[in-house]
Structures are given as structure tokens and as C-alpha cells.
Structure 1
């Protein structure tokens, strides 16, 4: 009985192998219609009896190449209209199947089943030729908001130099565009909140001299906001951004926020002075002024903000507002102190006089901020209301109505 069952098992196995080999033969016979042939061969790609044969994967890749070539030709024919979705899909599958073909063949070489690979050189040259099209595929997907496909196409492009399949393809291994495209892969991954992919591609993309700041921004987001934030790596990334891309405000702003939150104002000021020595911009001057303000060096802060105002470029309204802060917030400390005193206390009246004096000092600067940026109420709205309440009830009522309270 056992012999009968064993023979039956062999029979069914032989049938299965024969069936998959038949599928491959049927696909070959349909190669004049590559779309149909590609569908026919799909079962053979998952069945062990045929999936372990590099020729199966090469054949599947050949069908995808035929589909790609047919659609790509339409791009160059007068009046031709290519199905770009079909074009790009076949391109990705061509990469997938030819790469798998190489992996299977190399495994057979390692096991001794084959003496040497026969297909790698041809596959590599074919893929190297069509590889630039991956950037168009990725760009189209990204612009359409399909970040998953954008990541797939950009990723295939960036991964190629590390793929053993291209070991002898110098044009791929030494491609200077790879770091640039890695930036776009990182951006797509960032949109998908795929932190692992962000780190993978941004680590390559950050080395691009012009666009590398994009990857560093994505890395900072990944390290700072992921499921397991890494503050040390976040800080290292931000500092790298400041060093490599000193004109990018993102890195300076985040670094200064860090120094303020950690109470490392002097360290932040030293950093800003070094940055300003290389590249003095209104924004960087403003950041320095804010740090001076946080240090309660109001005289130094006002001097810095006045320099911004004198230049008359960007951050003028913000500079006016911060000069107002240099008087308004010290006044708030006295307001807090007075809230704990009896109105009969002599110090109360003295404090009230100081509050009024400081409010009068701050007032014109908030008004100038309002004049410069009337729509940015955050710079002047609540401050002017507080001051007018103390100094001019009529203006208070008018402003309250203007703000819609």
C-alpha cells in the first residue's frame, strides 16, 4: 500500500512539473503578443519547479521588455500616444524579473550546478539602457501624488549601483545622478511616512552638493517624529544641515529652537555669529536677535532688530514686534507682581507707573508692525489690545471691533 501511495505522489509531482513546463512553452508560443504571453507565464513565476530556472525569469523579463519597447516607440512616432502607465509598469517588472533571473542564476553558480553565469552581462546592459526612464516614471508618479509608485521607481534607480547585476557596468556604478535621485526617493518616502525608506535613501541623497538639504530635512523629520524618536541623531542631522547648507533657514531655525529649549543660549549665539560671518541674511539676524532677547539682553536685541529695520528687506515687521516685546514682557513681570500686592501698598502705585512707561515704550513698535503686516495679527494683535486697555480705552474699543472680538 505504501508503495502505491508513493508512486501516486511521484505521478502527481510529475504532472505538476509537466503542467508548469507547459505553461512556459505556451508563453513562448504567444510571444508575438507580449501582453498575453506575460499573463500566461505568471503561474510559472511562483511554482518552484519553474521559478528556480533563470530562463523562466528571463523569458518573463523579455515579455515585459517587448511591452516596454512597443509603448516607448510610440513616444517617438509622429502623433504617437504611449500608454505611460503601461510603459512604466513594464519597466518596473523588467527590472524585477531580470534581477530575479540574475539572482537565481548566481545561486546555481554558487551551488556548482552552473560553471559560470551566462545571462548577467546581457541583462545588465539591457537594464542600464532603460534605467534613465525610471526618473521620468518617478517624476510623473510624484507629480500625480502617487508617492508609492514614485518611491518604487526612484528606488529602483538609486538601488542599481549597489546591485551585483551591474558590477561591470561603470556607467551605472559611477552615475553622478544617483545622489540627486535619492533626494526624490527620500521625499516620496517622507510623504508616505516610511521612515526606513527615508533613512535608506536620504543617507545617499544628503551627499548631493545642491539638493542634499532635502534629504537632511527628511532625515530630521524621520529621527524627530517617528515612532521611536532619536534626539541625538536628530541633532546631528540638523547640525550637519547647518554646516553643509548654511543658507537653508530650516536647519538654523530648528537648531536655535533646540538651544532655547535646552537653555543653551550662549552656545546658540556663538553658532549664529559663525553663521552670520559667512552669510548675513535678515532671517539669520532675526534669529540672533531672538536669542539675545531670550537671554534678556534687550539692548543687544534691539540693536540687532534695528539693523534689520535699517536694511529694509525681510523680517522688518517681525523686528518691530520683537522690539516691542523687549518692553512689553518685562512689563508683564511687573503686572504679575502687582497681582499679588494690595492696591494700598505704595509699591503698587510705583509698579503701575513702570508698567505704563514700558507700555508707552512698546506701543509705537507694535503699531509699526501692524502697519508693515496688517494681516499678521500674531505680531501685534493681543499686545496692542493689552496696551490700549491700559492707555487708551477708545483705541482699545476700536481695535477690539477690528479684530472681531
Structure 2
């Protein structure tokens, strides 16, 4: 009985192999209609009896190449309109199938079943010829907010030089565009929250001299805001951004916030002074003033903010507001201490006079900030309201209505 069952099993196995081989033959016979042939061969790509044959994968790749060539030709015909979705889908599948073909063939060489690979050079040449089109595919996907496809196409372009099929292809190894498009791969990955891809492509893209800051920004966001934040890597990435791209405000702003939060204001001041020596932009000057303010070096901060104002560029309203802060918070500190003093005590009246003096000095700076940035009430609203309450009840009531 066992022998009979074993014979039946062999019979079914033989039938299965024969069935898949017939699928491949049927696909070959339909090659004049590559779209149909591509559908016919699909079962052969998952069945071990045919999936372990490199020719199966080459044939599947050939069908995709035919589809690609057909659509690509329309791009060069006057009035021709290519179906770019079909074009780029076939392009990606061509890469997938030809690289799988190479993988299967190399495995047979390693096992001794084949003496040497026969298909690698031909397939590599075909893929190198169409590889630039991957960037167009990525750009179109990105511009239509299809970030998953953008990541796929840009990723294929960036990964290609490291794929085994392209071993020895120096043209790809020396491709200077890889870091540029790695930036866009990292960007697309950030939109689909593929943190691993952000880090993978970001580490390549950050080496681009002009656009590398994008990768470092996305990497920092990933390290800082993922489900498991990595503060060590976040800080290292921010510092790398400051070093490589000192004109990018994102890195400086984040680093200075870090120094303030950690109570390392002197370290922050030393670094911002080095940056300002090479680039005294309004933003960097403003950051320096904020650090001086945090250190309670109010005179130094006021002088720095006045330099920003004198440049008459960016951060003028913010600088007026911060000068107001330099006076206002000194007055508020005295006011808080004064609450501990009896109103009958002469020192209370002295304290009140000092408070009003500081508030009076702060008032015109907040009012200037209000004039320059009327919609940005965070710069002046509550502070000016407090000053008016202390100094002028009529203005207080008018501003209270405005703010409410």
C-alpha cells in the first residue's frame, strides 16, 4: 500500500512540474502581447520547480522590458502620451525580476550546477540603460503625494550600485547623483513613517554638499520623535548638521534649545559666537541674544537685539519683544518678592516704584512689536496687558477686549 501511495505522490509531483513548465511555454508563446504574457507567467514565479530556474525570471523580466519599451517609445513620438503608471510599474518589476534572475543564477554557480553565470552582464547592461528613469518615476510619485512609490523608485536608484548584479560596474559606483536622490528617498520615507528607511537613506544623503541638510533634518526628527526616541543619536545628528551646514537655522535652533534646557548656556554662547564670526545673520544674532537673556545678561542681550534691529531684516519684531522681556521679567521678579513685604513697610513702596520703572521701560518695546507683528500676539499680548494693568487701567481694558 505504501509503495502505491509513493508512486501516486511521484505522479502528482511530475504533473505539477509539467504544469508549471507548460505555463512558461504558454507565456513564451504569448510574448507578442507582453501584458498577457506577464500575467500568464506569474504562477511560475512562485512554484519551486520553475522559480529556481534563472530563465523563468529572465523571461518575466523580458516581458516587463517589452511593456516598458512600448510606453517609453511614446515619450519620443510627437503627440504621443505614455501611460506613466504602466511605464514605471514595469520599470520597477524589470529591476525586481532581472535581479532575482541573477540571484538564482549565482546560487547555481555557487552550488556547482553552473560553471559560470551567463546572464549577468546582459541583464546589468539592460538595467543600467533604464536606471535614470527611476528618478523620473520617483519625482512623479512624490509630486502626486504617492510617497510609498517615491520611496520605492528613489530607493531602487540609490541601492543599485550595491546590488550584486552590478558588481564591477564602475559607472554606477561613481554615480555622484546617489547622495542627492538618497535625500529624496529619506524624505519620502519620513512621510510614510518608515524610520529604518529614513536612517538608511539619510546616512547616504547627508553627504551631498548642498542638499544633505535635508537628510540630517529627517534623521533628527526620526530620532527625536519616534515611538522610542534616541536622544543620543538625536544630539549627534543635530551637532553634525551644525558642523556640515552652519547656515541652516534648524540645527542651530535645536542645539541652542538643548543647551538652554540642559543649563549649558555658556557652551551655547561659545558655539554661537563661533558661528556668528563667519555668518552674522539676523537669526544667529537673535539666538545669541536669547542665550544672553537666559543667562540674565540683560545689558548684553539688549545690545545684541539692538544689532538685529539695526540690520532691519528678519527677527526685528521678535527682537523688540525680547528687549521688552529683558525689562519686564526684571520687574516681575521684584514684584514677586514685594508680595512677601507688608504694604506698610517703606520697602514695599520702593519695590513698587522699581516695578513700575521696569514695566515703563518694557512698554514701548512691546508696543513696537505689536505695531510690527499685530497678529503675533504671543510676542506682546499678555505682557503688555500686565503692564497696562499696572500702569494704565484705561489701556488695560481696551487691550483686554482686543485679546478676548
- Alignment of 1:232 onto 2:232: yes
Query: Which whole-Å CA distance do the structure 2 matches of 1:336 and 1:139 have between them?
Result: 58
Query: Which whole-Å CA distance do the structure 2 matches of 1:44 and 1:279 have between them?
Result: 63
Task: Work out whether residues 154 and 184 of structure 1, in 8 Å CA contact, stay in contact via their aligned partners in 2.
Answer: yes
Query: Which whole-Å CA distance do the structure 2 matches of 1:245 and 1:367 have between them?
Result: 36
- Count of residue pairs brought into register by the alignment: 404
Q: CA deviation at 1:178?
A: 0.3
Instruction: Give the alignment's Cα RMSD to 1 decimal.
Output: 0.9
Identify the residue that residue 248 of structure 2 maps to in structure 1. Answer: 248
Q: CA deviation at 1:354?
A: 1.2
Task: Spell out, residue by residue over 1:110-156, the C-alpha distance to the aligned partner (whole angstroms, 9 max, x if none).
Answer: 11110000000011010000000000100111111111000000000
Task: Spell out, residue by residue over 1:158-186, the C-alpha distance to the aligned partner (whole angstroms, 9 max, x if none).
Answer: 00011111112221111000000000000
Query: Which whole-Å CA distance do the structure 2 matches of 1:171 and 1:335 have between them?
Result: 72
Identify the residue that residue 92 of structure 1 maps to in structure 2. Answer: 92
Identify the residue that residue 77 of structure 2 maps to in structure 1. Answer: 77
Identify the residue that residue 27 of structure 2 maps to in structure 1. Answer: 27
- Alignment of 1:402 onto 2:377: no
Identify the residue that residue 112 of structure 1 maps to in structure 2. Answer: 112
Identify the residue that residue 306 of structure 1 maps to in structure 2. Answer: 306
Q: CA deviation at 1:342?
A: 3.2
Task: Spell out, residue by residue over 1:34-66, the C-alpha distance to the aligned partner (whole angstroms, 9 max, x if none).
Answer: 000000000000000000000000000000000
Q: CA deviation at 1:280?
A: 1.1
Q: CA deviation at 1:373?
A: 1.2
Query: Which whole-Å CA distance do the structure 2 matches of 1:130 and 1:179 have between them?
Result: 19
Counterparts in 2 of 1:338-377, with a 5 A limit? Answer: 338-377=338-377
Counterparts in 2 of 1:153-302, with a 5 A limit? Answer: 153-302=153-302
Task: Work out whether residues 125 and 169 of structure 1, in 8 Å CA contact, stay in contact via their aligned partners in 2.
Answer: no
Q: Secondary structure at the match of 1:307?
A: helix
Counterparts in 2 of 1:33-52, with a 5 A limit? Answer: 33-52=33-52
Query: Which whole-Å CA distance do the structure 2 matches of 1:338 and 1:65 have between them?
Result: 82
Task: Spell out, residue by residue over 1:362-403, the C-alpha distance to the aligned partner (whole angstroms, 9 max, x if none).
Answer: 001001111111111111111111101111111111212222
Q: Secondary structure at the match of 1:246?
A: coil
Query: Which whole-Å CA distance do the structure 2 matches of 1:289 and 1:268 have between them?
Result: 11
Query: Which whole-Å CA distance do the structure 2 matches of 1:90 and 1:357 have between them?
Result: 75
Give structure 1 stretches of 5+ with no counterpart.
none
Task: Spell out, residue by residue over 1:59-80, the C-alpha distance to the aligned partner (whole angstroms, 9 max, x if none).
Answer: 0000000000000001111111
Query: Which whole-Å CA distance do the structure 2 matches of 1:392 and 1:37 have between them?
Result: 85
Identify the residue that residue 337 of structure 2 maps to in structure 1. Answer: 337
Query: Which whole-Å CA distance do the structure 2 matches of 1:225 and 1:402 have between them?
Result: 37
Q: CA deviation at 1:228?
A: 1.8
Query: Which whole-Å CA distance do the structure 2 matches of 1:2 and 1:338 have between them?
Result: 101
Query: Which whole-Å CA distance do the structure 2 matches of 1:380 and 1:215 have between them?
Result: 36
Task: Spell out, residue by residue over 1:210-263, the C-alpha distance to the aligned partner (whole angstroms, 9 max, x if none).
Answer: 000000001111111112211111111111111110110000000000000000
Of residues 255-264 and 349-358 in structure 1, the stretch that sits farther from structure 2 once superposed is 349-358
Query: Which whole-Å CA distance do the structure 1 matches of 2:207 and 2:379 have between them?
Result: 38
Query: Which whole-Å CA distance do the structure 2 matches of 1:27 and 1:342 have between them?
Result: 98
Q: CA deviation at 1:335?
A: 2.4
Q: Secondary structure at the match of 2:210?
A: coil
Task: Spell out, residue by residue over 1:341-370, the C-alpha distance to the aligned partner (whole angstroms, 9 max, x if none).
Answer: 333333322221111111001001001111
Query: Which whole-Å CA distance do the structure 2 matches of 1:172 and 1:315 have between them?
Result: 46
Q: Secondary structure at the match of 1:288?
A: helix
Task: Spell out, residue by residue over 1:240-294, the C-alpha distance to the aligned partner (whole angstroms, 9 max, x if none).
Answer: 1111101100000000000000000000000001101111100000000000000
Query: Which whole-Å CA distance do the structure 2 matches of 1:193 and 1:357 have between them?
Result: 53
TM-score (norm. length: structure 2): 0.99
Query: Which whole-Å CA distance do the structure 2 matches of 1:191 and 1:300 have between them?
Result: 42
Query: Which whole-Å CA distance do the structure 2 matches of 1:156 and 1:75 have between them?
Result: 22
Identify the residue that residue 9 of structure 2 maps to in structure 1. Answer: 9
